[in-house]
C-alpha cells in the first residue's frame, strides 16, 4: 500500500533511473501532484513541465504558466521538440482522456515515450484508471493510495493549527488521531471539506468527533449504494477452521503491496450454507481481524424499477467499493439480485455478467464475502472455477465446534466457565443446533439469571432443559438441510473442521465430500 | 542546404529563384537570402519582389488549405483530429519565418507579417464556421460534435504564429527551458485553505 512517502520514494527512484514513462495511479490528482513536486524538488537538475487541460503548460516547480495551450496534441508536440532539444526533461500530464485502451491518444503517447527514452526524457501520467497495456509496458507504474491515518492526522493537524487563532479548539492530539481514523478511506479533499465545515462553527469540540462518521457515511452513502457496517465488538467465530486457515493466506495477499507481486489481490469468497451458522458473522470477523472497513452491498436493493437502473446502481456500487479499497465488501444473499430465471431475467443476466466482469477485471483490494442461502437459484456462471477465489460450505457445527461455541457464549453472556461434564452433555444435546441457536439459548439463560437477580448459573438440569426445549432449524426443516448439503457436495470446500479422512500431509486444504 | 541553382546573378534574382523553389517546398533553407536595403532598388523592383513573396506565400497557403481539406479523411477520433491540426502548424510557422526574414526591409516585414497573421486568423475563423455547419447537419451525437468543435478551437492555427520555427517549420524552442536551479519551493506549495468568518 504505497502511501505519500512510499510513492514519493518510488517515484524518485523512477526519475533517477530515467524511466521514460511513469504512470501514477490515483483518484486524487492534487495529492499525486504534491508527490510529484516533492520528488522533483529533490532532483532539481532535471526540467519539469506539467500539463493540464485547464491551464495548459506550467513549470512544475515554480507554477508559472509557460504556455496556455490546453491542447494535449499541442503539448505533446511541445514535448517532442523539447525532448529533442534537451535531455533529462520531464512532462507530467494530468487528466488525459481515453488512454485505458488503444486509441489515437494512447498510441501518440507511446510514440512520445519512445522518443523520450532516446533522449533521457520522461513522461509522467497521473491517471485514475489503468492505461492501455501497449503504453503501460513502456514504463513503470506506482499507485498512490488514499491517505493513511498517519497522513490524514498530519493534514488535519495542519489545518487545525492554521485556525487556532479564530476557532476554539478542544481537540487534543489523541482526538485528532481518532478523527483521522474515522476519516481514513476518504480522499484528502473530502476529509478537508468535512473538517472545514466543522470549523465554521468557530469551535471544534470532542463531541464533534462522532459527527465525522455521519459525514463519512453521507459521502459514501450518497455516492454509492454501499452501507458502511460499523464494527464495534470483537467478533469471534467458533469452528469454521478450514475457512479460517484459508483466510490467513488471503489476508497475507490482501496486505501485500499492489503490483509488488504478479499475483493480483484476492477477489473473495462465497459462503453458502445452513442458516445461522456464521456466514454473516464471518464477513464481520474478517473485516475486524484484518482492520479493514466493512461495506455491505444490498443486492436486493440493486434491483431498480427502470430498465438499466439496476446496472448503473451496481456499477456505481462497485466503483465506490474500489474507492474505499482496501475494504471488505459483504454481499449478503447474493442470489437475491443475481438469480436468473425469475422475474426480469434479462436484467438479472446482465447483472451477473456485469458483476463477473468486474470480479475478473478489478485489481482493487476489495475482498468480497458473498453469502447465499438459496443455492438452487444461484446462476451457474457465478460458481465456475476462478470466479471467487473459493467457495465454502458452512455446515452445522460439529461436536468440537459446538463445544467451542457453547463455551464462548457462556463466557460472554454469563461470565462462567461451564464444567467439563455439563459441557459434554450440552454438546450432545445441541446436535443439529446452529451457532445462532446456541447463541440464542445461552442468551435466554442469561436473561433469566438477570431477572432472578443472580450471577449464578442455574443447576445443570435446568440448563439442559433450556437446550432440550429448542427445536433447531435442522430438525424442523431436515429436507432443506439435506438439499443444501447435497448441492454443496463436490462444489464447495468445507468451512468447518476436516474429517478424520483428511490428509494433513498435503499441507493445504483438501476438497472433501460432504456426507 | 542551399543548392547552387538558387543563387542568382543579383540579390534580386537569388530572392526570386529561392521564392519559386520555396513555394514548392517550404522546408528549403532561407538562410542564404541576401539583405535587401530600401535604397538598393527602384520602387518598381521592390514592388515586384514584394509580389513575388506574396505569390509564393499564396501558393503555400493554397496547398496548406488543400491539406486542411483532407484532414477529415478517415480520422478515428477527436484526438487524432487534434493531432493532425497540430501537424499543419509547421507550414504556418514557415510562412511567418519568411515574413520575418531579417534580410527584408522593416517596412516589408511589417506588411508581410500582418498579412500572414490576418490570413491565418481568417483561415481559422472560416474553418471553424464551416466545420460547425457541417457538424450541425451530421448525425453525430451531440457530445461528439461538441468534442470535435472543441478540438478544432483548442488546436487553433493562430498559435503557430507565435512559434519560433526551424527550417522545417518545427518549433525552435518548445518551452522556456529553465536552466539549473529553480527558486526554492515550499514542500507544500498547494494553496492552504482557511475558513471565512
Ligand atoms: N460459528 C459461529 N461462531 C460463533 N457464533 C456463531 C456462529 N455461527 C452463528 N453464530 C451466532 O449466530 C448469529 C447469527 O449467525 P450469522 O448471522 O452469521 O448466520 P448466517 O450464516 O449469516 O445465517 P443466515 O443464512 O440466516 O443469514 C451470529 O451473530 C452469532 O452470534
Ligand atoms: Mg446471514
Q: How many domains does chain A have?
A: 4
**pLDDT, tens digit (0-9, with 9 covering 90-100), for A132-178:** 999 999 999 999 988 987 899 999 999 999 999 999 999 999 889 87
Mean pLDDT within A412-424:
95
As a three-state string, the secondary structure of A438-487 is HHHHHHHHHHHHHHHCCCCCCCHHHHHHHHHCCCCHHHHCHHHHHHHHHH
Q: Are residues A259 and A383 in the same domain?
A: yes
Cα–Cα distance measured from residue A48 to residue A163, given in angstroms and rounded to the nearest whole number: 34
Where are the extended beta strands (E) located within B21-171?
Answer: none
> A507: distance to nearest CA of chain B, Å?
51
Query: Which residues span the domain enclosing B63?
Result: 4-162
Of B112 and B163, more confident: B112
Candidates A104, A155, A161, partner chain B, best to mutate (most B CBs within 10 A):
A104
Q: Is ipTM over 0.85? A: no
Q: Are residues A458 and A330 in the same domain?
A: no
> B189: distance to nearest CA of chain A, Å?
8
**Chain length of chain B:** 197
The overall average pLDDT reported for chain B is 82
Residue A171's domain is classified under what CATH number?
1.10.8
To which residue does cell 503491496 refer?
A257
To which residue does cell 441457536 refer?
A437
B185 has a pLDDT exceeding 50: no
Q: Is B48 contained in some domain?
A: yes
Candidate from A118-127, A129-138, A250-259, B166-175 with smallest mean pLDDT: B166-175
Q: Which of A186, A221, A256 is the last residue of a domain?
A: A221
pLDDT tier, B10 (very low <50, low <70, confident <90, very high otherwise)? confident
For residue B188, list chain A residues with Cβ-Cβ distance below 8 A: 34
**pLDDT, tens digit (0-9, with 9 covering 90-100), for A479-489:** 999 999 998 88
Buried b (16+ CB within 10 A) or exposed e, B47-70: eebbebbeebbebbbeebeeebee
Cα–Cα distance measured from residue B164 to residue B156, given in angstroms and rounded to the nearest whole number: 16
A30 has a pLDDT exceeding 90: yes
Query: For position B162, what pLDDT does the model report?
Result: 77
Query: For position A42, what pLDDT does the model report?
Result: 92
Cβ of A435 closer than 6 Å to ligand 1, yes or no, is yes
> Residue A238 Cα, ligand 1 centroid: separation in angstroms?
10
pLDDT tier, B188 (very low <50, low <70, confident <90, very high otherwise)? very low
DSSP line for A194-205: HHHHHHTTSEE-
Closest CA to A82 of B125, B176, B148, B150: B176
**pLDDT, tens digit (0-9, with 9 covering 90-100), for B119-168:** 999 999 999 999 999 898 988 899 889 999 999 999 999 988 877 666 66
A118 has a pLDDT exceeding 90: yes
Q: How many domains does chain B have?
A: 1
CA-to-CA separations, A171 to A109, A157, A211, in angstroms, rounded: 49, 10, 14
A-B interface: how many C-beta pairs under 8 angstroms?
Answer: 105
Query: Which residues span the domain enclosing A451?
Result: 399-431+435-471
Q: Are residues A287 and A427 in the same domain?
A: no
CA-to-CA separations, B157 to A185, A365, B70, B153, B163, in angstroms, rounded: 46, 46, 16, 9, 11
Cβ of A281 closer than 6 Å to ligand 1, yes or no, is yes
Buried b (16+ CB within 10 A) or exposed e, A387-424: bbbbbbbbbbbeeebbbbbbbbbbeebbeeebeeebee
Structural contact between residues B12 and B21, judged by C-beta atoms closer than 8 angstroms: no
Grid coordinates belonging to A394 = 458452512
Question: Are A79 and B180 within 8 A, CB to CB?
Answer: no
Whole-number percent of chain A with pLDDT over 90: 58
Q: Are residues A128 and A207 in the same domain?
A: no
pLDDT tier, A256 (very low <50, low <70, confident <90, very high otherwise)? low
Grid coordinates belonging to A503 = 490428509
Q: Is B11 contained in some domain?
A: yes
Cα–Cα distance measured from residue B117 to residue A255, given in angstroms and rounded to the nearest whole number: 61
B181 has a pLDDT exceeding 80: no
The model's pTM is 0.60
Secondary element (H or E) of residue A149: helix A149-162
Q: Is B174 contained in some domain?
A: no
Grid coordinates belonging to A109 = 503517447
| Residue A167 touches chain B, beta carbons under 8 Å | yes
Amino acid at each position: 500500500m504505497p502511501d505519500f512517502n512510499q510513492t514519493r520514494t518510488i517515484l524518485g527512484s523512477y526519475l533517477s533511473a530515467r524511466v521514460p514513462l511513469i504512470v501514477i495511479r490515483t483518484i486524487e490528482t492534487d495529492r499525486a501532484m504534491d508527490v510529484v513536486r516533492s520528488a522533483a524538488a529533490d532532483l532539481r537538475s532535471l526540467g519539469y513541465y506539467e500539463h493540464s487541460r485547464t491551464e495548459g503548460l506550467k513549470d512544475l516547480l515554480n507554477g508559472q504558466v509557460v504556455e496556455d495551450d490546453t491542447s494535449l496534441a499541442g503539448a505533446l508536440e511541445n514535448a517532442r521538440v523539447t525532448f529533442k532539444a534537451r535531455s533529462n526533461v520531464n512532462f507530467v500530464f494530468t487528466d488525459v482522456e481515453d488512454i485505458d485502451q488503444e486509441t489515437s491518444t494512447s498510441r501518440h503517447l507511446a510514440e512520445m515515450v519512445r522518443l523520450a527514452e532516446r533522449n533521457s526524457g520522461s513522461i509522467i501520467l497521473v491517471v485514475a484508471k489503468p492505461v492501455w497495456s501497449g503504453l503501460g509496458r513502456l514504463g513503470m507504474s506506482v499507485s498512490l493510495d488514499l491517505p493513511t491515518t498517519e497522513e490524514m492526522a498530519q493534514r488535519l493537524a495542519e489545518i487545525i493549527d492554521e485556525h487556532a487563532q479564530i476557532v476554539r479548539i478542544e481537540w487534543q492530539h489523541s482526538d485528532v488521531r481518532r478523527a483521522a481514523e474515522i476519516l481514513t478511506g476518504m480522499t484528502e479533499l473530502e476529509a478537508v471539506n468535512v473538517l472545514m465545515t466543522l470549523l465554521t462553527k468557530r469551535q471544534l469540540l470532542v463531541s464533534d468527533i462522532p459527527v465525522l462518521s455521519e459525514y463519512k457515511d453521507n459521502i459514501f452513502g450518497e455516492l454509492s449504494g454501499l452501507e458502511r457496517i460499523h464494527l464495534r465488538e470483537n467478533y469471534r467465530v467458533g469452528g469454521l477452521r478450514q475457512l479460517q486457515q484459508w483466510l490467513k493466506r488471503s489476508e497475507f495477499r490482501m496486505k501485500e503491496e499492489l503490483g509488488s507481486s504478479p499475483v493480483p489481490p484476492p477477489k473473495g469468497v462465497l459462503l453458502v450454507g445452513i442458516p445461522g451458522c456464521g456466514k454473516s458473522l464471518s464477513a464481520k470477523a474478517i473485516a475486524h481481524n484484518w482492520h479493514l472497513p466493512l461495506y455491505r452491498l444490498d443486492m436486493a436493493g440493486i434491483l431498480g424499477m427502470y430498465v438499466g437502473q439496476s446496472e448503473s446502481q451496481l456499477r456505481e456500487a462497485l466503483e465506490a467499493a474500489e474507492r474505499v479499497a482496501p475494504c471488505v465488501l459483504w454481499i449478503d444473499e447474493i442470489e437475491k439480485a443475481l438469480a436468473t430465471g425469475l422475474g426480469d431475467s434479462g436484467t438479472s443476466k446482465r447483472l451477473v455478467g456485469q458483476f463477473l466482469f468486474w470480479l475478473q477485471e478489478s485489481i482493487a483490494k476489495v475482498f468480497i464475502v458473498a453469502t447465499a442461502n438459496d443455492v438452487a437459484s444461484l446462476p451457474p456462471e457465478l460458481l465456475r472455477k476462478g470466479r471467487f477465489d473459493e467457495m465454502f460450505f458452512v455446515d452445522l457445527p460439529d461436536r468440537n465446534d459446538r463445544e467451542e461455541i457453547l463455551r464462548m457464549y457462556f463466557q460472554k453472556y454469563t461470565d462462567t466457565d461451564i464444567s467439563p461434564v455439563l459441557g459434554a452433555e450440552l454438546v450432545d444435546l445441541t446436535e443439529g443446533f446452529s451457532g445462532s441457536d446456541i447463541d440464542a439459548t445461552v442468551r435466554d439463560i442469561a436473561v433469566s439469571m438477570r431477572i432472578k437477580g443472580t450471577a449464578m448459573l442455574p443447576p445443570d438440569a435446568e440448563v439442559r432443559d433450556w437446550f432440550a426445549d429448542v427445536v433447531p432449524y435442522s430438525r424442523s426443516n431436515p429436507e432443506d438441510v439435506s438439499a443444501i448439503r447435497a448441492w454443496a457436495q463436490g462444489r464447495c470446500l468445507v468451512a468447518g473442521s476436516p474429517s478424520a479422512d483428511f490428509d494433513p500431509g498435503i499441507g493445504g486444504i483438501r476438497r472433501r465430500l460432504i456426507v | 542546404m542551399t543548392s547552387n541553382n538558387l543563387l542568382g546573378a543579383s540579390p534580386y534574382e537569388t530572392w526570386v529563384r529561392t521564392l519559386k523553389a520555396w513555394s514548392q517546398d517550404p522546408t528549403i533553407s532561407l538562410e542564404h537570402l541576401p539583405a535587401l536595403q530600401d535604397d538598393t532598388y527602384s520602387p518598381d523592383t521592390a514592388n515586384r519582389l514584394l509580389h513575388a513573396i506574396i505569390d509564393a506565400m499564396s501558393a503555400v497557403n493554397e496547398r496548406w488549405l488543400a491539406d486542411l481539406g483532407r484532414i477529415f479523411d478517415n480520422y478515428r477520433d477527436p484526438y487524432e483530429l487534434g493531432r493532425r491540426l497540430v501537424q499543419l502548424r509547421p507550414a504556418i510557422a514557415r510562412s511567418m519565418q519568411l515574413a520575418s526574414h531579417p534580410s527584408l526591409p522593416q517596412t516589408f516585414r511589417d506588411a508581410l507579417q500582418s498579412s500572414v497573421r490576418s490570413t491565418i486568423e481568417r483561415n481559422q475563423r472560416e474553418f471553424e464556421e464551416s466545420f460547425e455547419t457541417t457538424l450541425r447537419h451530421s448525425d453525430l451525437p451531440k457530445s461528439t460534435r461538441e468534442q470535435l468543435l472543441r478540438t478544432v478551437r483548442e488546436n487553433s492555427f493562430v498559435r503557430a504564429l507565435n512559434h519560433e520555427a526551424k527550417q522545417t517549420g518545427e518549433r525552435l524552442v518548445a518551452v522556456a527551458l529553465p536552466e539549473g536551479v529553480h527558486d526554492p519551493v515550499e514542500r507544500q506549495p498547494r494553496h492552504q485553505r482557511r475558513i471565512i468568518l
